[in-house]
Amino acid sequence: MSKSNFTRRGVLKTGAVAGAGLALPTYLSAAAHTGFTNAPGDSEVVLGFNVPQSGPYADEGADELRAFELAVEHLNGGGDGGMLNTFSSNVLDGTGILGREVKYVTGDTQTKSDAARASARSMIEKDGAIMISGGSSSGVAVAVQGLCQEAGVIFMAGLTHSNDTTGKDKKANGFRHFFNAYMSAAALAPVLQSLYGADRNAYHLTADYTWGWTQQESIAAATEAIGWNTVNNVLTPLAETDFSAYIAPVLNSGADVLVLNHYGGNMVNSLTNAVQFGLRDAMANGKQFEIVVPLYSELMARGAGANIVGIPGSQNWDWKIENQLGSRYAGTNAFVQSFGTKYGFPPSQAAQTCYAQTLLYADAVTRAGSFNPCAVAEALEGYEFDGLGNGPTLYRAGDHQCFKDVVVVRGKENPENEFDLVEIVEVTPAEQVTYDVDHPMFAGGALGECNPGA
Amino acid sequence: MDAIILQTLNGLDKGSAYALIALGLTLIFGTLGVVNFAHGALFMIGSFCAVTLSRILSYSYEIVDDTRTDFLGNPMKVDIPYVHSWFGESAGQTIIDWSVPLAILFAIPIMLFVGYVMERGLIKHFYKRPHADQILVTFGLAIVLQEVVKQIYGANPIPTPAPPAFTGSLDFGVWLGFDPNTIIYPYWRLVYFFFSAIVIAAVFAFLQFTTFGMVVRAGMADRETVGLLGIDIDKRFTMMFGIAAAVAGLAGVMYTPINSPNYHMGMDFLVLSFVVVVVGGMGSLPGAVLAGFLLGILQSFASMNWIKDILPGIDQIIIYLVAIAILLTRPRGLMGRKGVMED
C-alpha cells in the first residue's frame, strides 16, 4: 500500500517558496517588457550615486555627493545651469533627461568593495537606478563596474585612478572620465626631472590595492625612464592610520626621494608622519630629501596643511585652471560659480569629474534618444566634447577612457586664502599622456559586449 | 643596530597607548569584575575632548575684508577667533596652538563624569550577569557612543596638531654616536611616551601609597571581607571606574597629534588592548603595562622591511601570534593570578 507524502500545509509551503524564488530577480522581470534593466516611466528617472561616506576617502565622497546634487539640480532646470551653459553639446535644456525629472538615491561604499556592491545592488534592485556613479577607490570602482555590467546598467565612474579600471578590468557598460595612473606618471616624470634631476633614488610607499599597485608601477616605470632608481616599494594596508613604522626606515634606505602612492586620508596621515620624522628637512646622498605625491587633490592639501608646501603631484582638474590658463578650460568658472555659491567653497577634482559624468550620461541618453544602456554606450564611445573644464576631450571607444590634458601641481608656498593651497606648475597636453589600447600596463582584459540587462 | 633602536622607539608610543588602555581595562576588571568592551570608546571620547577644546578656543566671529576677495571674487570673509580679540593675536594663537596639552585639564572632569554615568547608569546592572552579557552590553554601548560621535563630528579624521614647539623631530642617533639623520624621532611621540609613563606611575602610586588605594586593593583581593568591615567598597569601585575612564581619556587626548581623531579609533585600539590584557594576565596591572609595551614594540619590529620580505603581512598578525604562543605556554598570561576568570 503506498502512502502519499503530500499534505495541504506542505503544498502551501512549497508554493510559497517557489513563488518567492520566481519573484526574486525583480529588476530583471520588471524591465523585461522594455528590453533593458530599470527602464524609467514617463515622469521620472532614478540615478544612483554610490560614494564613500566613511573611511579614508570620505572627504572625496562628500564632495562627490555635492557635485551629483548640483548636477541633478541643473539637469532639472534649477540653479544657474552651471556647465550646461558651456558644454559643447547643446541637447540638454534643463527639462530633466528625455523629459523625465531626474531623481537620485545615494549609498555609502564605506571604501569597501563588498559594501559598495551591496549598496549599488540595492539601488539597482530596490530603487530602480538606471545608472550608477561614484567612486574614490579603484577597488570599489572595479567591483561596482563589474556588478553594473552583470545587472545591465551604465556605470559612470567617479574618482578612480587605477589603470585597471579601463585596463584589465574594463567593461562595456563602464565609462571613466577621470585620468589614470599612467597619465599621472607620463605628465609628472618630466617635471620631476627638471625639479630634482635625473640621478635620484626613490622609495615608494604604496596603498595595497589595485590603485596603489598600478600607480606605483606607472610612476616607477616613468621615473626609471628618466634615470631614477627605485630603491624599495613597501605596500601599506588601506585601513592604516599610523604610517610611522613604514616611514622610520626610509632615511636609512639609501633613498633621497619618498613617493607616497597614497590618496585621501591615507596620504594626509603618511605625509604628516613623514614630516614628523624629519624627512623634509633631511639630506640624503648629498641632496635635499624630497617627497612626491603623484595623485593630488585640494582636499588632501587642506587636510595636510603646511606639510604639503612645495610637494609636486598631478590632478585631473583644478578649480583655478580657467582663470590661469584661459578659455581652453571653459566650464571651470561656471562650475566653480555654481558650486561655490551653493556650498561656500570651491569644488574638488572629485566633484568635477562626478558632475561631468552625470552631464555626459544625460547628454548621451538625450543624443541616443533612449535610456537603453547599449544605446547610451554607443553614444559615448568615440565622443568628442568640450566645455566641461578639461579642454577638448575624447571618450575613446576602445577602452571607455577619457583623454584630456593633465594638470601638474605642487603645494603653494604662500596661499592667499584657505582654498588656494595648490599651484599649477604646468599642463601636459592630452597627446603626451595618450597610450595604445593594448599598452602592456592595460592589457589582460576586454570590454566585452554591452549588457542591457533584461 | 640603528634600525633596531629606531623600531624600539617607534614601538614605544603605540605601546604606551596599549598600556594605558589595558591598564584601565584591568582596573575595571580587577575591581568590578566587568569585561568592558566600551573602553576603546573612552579612549576615542578623550581624543574628541581635545578636538572640542580646540574648536572652543578657535571659536570665531566673522568680519568682511574689503581689500581682499574670495575665490568667487566677493569681498573676503575672515574669521577672527575670540581669543585673538581678548588676549591679542600672538597670545591668543599660542592658546589655540596649545589646545591639546590644555585639553588634559578639560578632559579629566569630563571623563570622570562619563565613567561615573556609564557605571551607574548601565554597567552596575550587569555585575551579577555572565561575562558574555557584560561583553555584549558594553560592546553595544561602544557602538552607540561611536555613532553619536560620528553624528556630531562627522566620519572624517580631524587633524589636531601638537603645539609648534613639539612639531619637529629629535636627531636621537647623534646622542648615541650615530651619523646625523640616522635615528630621527618626533618630539611629540617622546612626549607621549613620558606622559604615559607618568600616568602609569601615578596610578600605581595612587593604589600603593594612599588609603583609598589600599582599600581598593583589599577589595580586589577580598571584596566581601572589606564590605564586612563597614567600608562602602562599591562606592570606591565606582570611583575606580571613573579613574579608569580618565586614564583612557588622557591616553586619547595626547594621542590626537599622532593620529587624527576619528569616530572609529576606539575600536581600532580596543581589540588589540584586549589581547594586551589577556597576554599580560587578566586582572594584573603590571602585566597589562608590560604586555602593552612588549606588543607595541613587537608590532613595530614586525614592520621592518626585511622581516616583511620573509613573512609578508606579519606586521598585521604578529600580536595575535604572540598572544597564541603565550597563552599556550602560560595560560594565565605573563603575570596572571590563579583563579581570575577561571570560575
Tens digits of residue pLDDT in B198-246: 999 999 999 889 999 899 888 888 888 888 888 888 888 888 889 999 9
Question: What pTM does this model have?
Answer: 0.82
pLDDT of residue B276: 87
CB A423 within 8 A of CB A412: yes
Average pLDDT over residues A327-354: 96
Band (pLDDT 50/70/90 cuts) for residue A3 is very low
Number of C-alpha atoms within 13 angstroms, CB side, residue B46?
Answer: 35
Band (pLDDT 50/70/90 cuts) for residue B132 is confident
The DSSP symbol for A232 reads: E
Average pLDDT over residues B39-47: 94
Band (pLDDT 50/70/90 cuts) for residue A15 is very low
Kindly report the average pLDDT of chain A as a whole number: 89
Q: How far apart, in Å, are the Cα atoms of B316 and each of A56, A112, A233, B295, B299?
A: 18, 18, 18, 12, 8
Give residue-wise pLDDT tens across range B82-116. 999 999 999 999 999 999 999 999 999 999 999 99
Average pLDDT over residues B65-86: 88
Task: Please list the alpha-helical segments (H only) found in B69-222.
Answer: 82-87, 89-97, 99-121, 131-153, 172-175, 187-209, 211-221
Average the pLDDT over each of A201-205, B57-61, B92-96, B339-343 and give the range with the smallest value: B339-343
Average pLDDT over residues B307-325: 84
- ipTM value: 0.77
Q: What is the residue whose three cell numbers read 614594540?
A: B297
Q: Which of A244, A249, A420 sits opposite B3 (nearest CB)?
A: A249
Q: How far apart, in Å, are the Cα atoms of B157 and each of A112, A357, B248?
A: 17, 28, 19
What amino acid occupies position A362? A
Average pLDDT over residues A360-364: 97
Band (pLDDT 50/70/90 cuts) for residue A13 is low
Neighbours of A34 (CB within 10 A): 16
pLDDT of residue A9: 53
User: How close is the nearest chain A Cα to the Cα of B184, in Å?
Assistant: 6
Q: Which of B156, B182, B186 sits opposite A252 (nearest CB)?
A: B182
pLDDT of residue B157: 77
Q: Residue A179's closest CA among A314, A72, A73?
A: A314
End-to-end CA distance of chain A: 49
Interface contact B305-A234, CB threshold 8 A: yes
Q: Which residues contact A375 (CB under 8 A, 6 or more apart)?
A: A368, A369
Alpha carbon of residue B18 to chain centroid: 7
Q: Residue A158's closest CA among A145, A171, A167, A168?
A: A145
Give residue-wise pLDDT tens across range A312-333. 999 999 999 999 999 999 999 9
Kindly identify which residue of chain A lies nearest to residue B172, measuring between CA atoms.
A277
Interface contact A277-B156, CB threshold 8 A: no
CB A406 within 8 A of CB A179: yes
Band (pLDDT 50/70/90 cuts) for residue A277 is confident
pLDDT of residue A11: 43
3-state SS assignment for residue B171: strand
Average the pLDDT over each of A198-212, A416-430, B113-127, B328-342 and give the range with the smallest value: B328-342
What amino acid occupies position A199? D
User: How close is the nearest chain A Cα to the Cα of B337, in Å?
Assistant: 34
User: How close is the nearest chain B Cα to the Cα of A250, in Å?
Assistant: 10
Quickly name the fold that domain A182-315 has: Rossmann fold (3.40.50)
Kindly identify which residue of chain A lies nearest to residue B13, measuring between CA atoms.
A244
Quickly name the fold that domain A44-179+321-404 has: Rossmann fold (3.40.50)
Give residue-wise pLDDT tens across range B163-204. 999 988 888 878 888 877 778 888 999 999 999 999 999 999
CB A124 within 8 A of CB A151: yes
Q: Which residues contact B67 (CB under 8 A, 6 or more apart)?
A: none
Band (pLDDT 50/70/90 cuts) for residue A8 is very low
pLDDT of residue B216: 86
The C-alpha angle with vertex A103 and arms to A99 and A108, in degrees rounded to 5, equals 150
Q: Which of A242, A284, A305 sits opposite B258 (nearest CB)?
A: A242
Band (pLDDT 50/70/90 cuts) for residue B156 is confident
Band (pLDDT 50/70/90 cuts) for residue B4 is confident
Q: How far apart, in Å, are the Cα atoms of B188 and each of A12, A172, A307?
A: 70, 52, 16
pLDDT of residue A34: 56
Task: Please list the alpha-helical segments (H only) found in A248-387.
Answer: 264-276, 298-304, 321-325, 332-343, 349-368, 373-380
Interface contact B169-A341, CB threshold 8 A: no
Band (pLDDT 50/70/90 cuts) for residue B340 is low
CB A134 within 8 A of CB A50: yes
Chain B touched by A418 (CB under 8 Å): no
Cell readout for A344 is: 561656500
pLDDT of B339 > 80? The answer is no
Report how far residue B299's alpha carbon sits from residue B315's, in angstroms, rounded to the nearest whole number.
6
Question: Which of residues A71 and B122 earns the better pLDDT score?
Answer: A71
Run of H or E including A284? strand A283-284
**Domain residue spans of chain B:** 2-59+101-329
Chain B touched by A269 (CB under 8 Å): yes
pLDDT of A133 > 70? The answer is yes
Interface contact A337-B76, CB threshold 8 A: no
Kindly report the average pLDDT of chain B as a whole number: 87
**Domain residue spans of chain A:** 44-179+321-404, 182-315
pLDDT of residue B172: 80
Give residue-wise pLDDT tens across range A215-241. 999 999 999 999 999 999 999 888 788
Interface contact A269-B161, CB threshold 8 A: no
Interface contact B167-A276, CB threshold 8 A: yes
Cell readout for B93 is: 594663537
Pick from A203, A241, A275 the residue to mutate for testing the B interface (most B CBs within 10 Å). Answer: A241
What are A201's strand-pairing partners?
A: A229
> Count of residues for chain B?
343
3-state SS assignment for residue A235: strand
Query: What is the torsion angle, in degrees rounded to the nearest 10, for the CA atoms of residue A159, residue A160, residue A161 and residue A164?
Result: -160
Could you say which residues from 107 to 146 on chain A have a Cβ atom under 8 Å away from some Cβ of chain B?
Answer: none
Which long-range CB contacts under 8 A does B197-205 form with residues at least 24 apart? B197/B16, B199/B20, B199/B247, B199/B250, B199/B251, B200/B19, B200/B20, B200/B23, B200/B289, B203/B23, B203/B27, B203/B243, B203/B247, B203/B285, B204/B285
The C-alpha angle with vertex B20 and arms to B16 and B25, in degrees rounded to 5, equals 145
pLDDT of A22 > 50? The answer is no
Task: Tell me which chain B residues have a C-beta less than 8 angstroms from the C-beta of A341.
Answer: 72
pLDDT of A119 > 50? The answer is yes
Chain A, chain B: beta-carbon pairs less than 8 Å apart: 101
Percent of chain A whose predicted confidence (pLDDT) is above 90: 70
Question: Which of residues A85 and B311 earns the better pLDDT score?
Answer: A85
CATH number for the region B2-59+101-329 comes to: 1.10.3470
pLDDT of residue A248: 83
Q: Which of A53, A303, A319 sits opposite B155 (nearest CB)?
A: A53
Task: Tell me which chain B residues have a C-beta less than 8 angstroms from the C-beta of A240.
Answer: none
Q: Residue B13's closest CA among B296, B320, B231?
A: B296
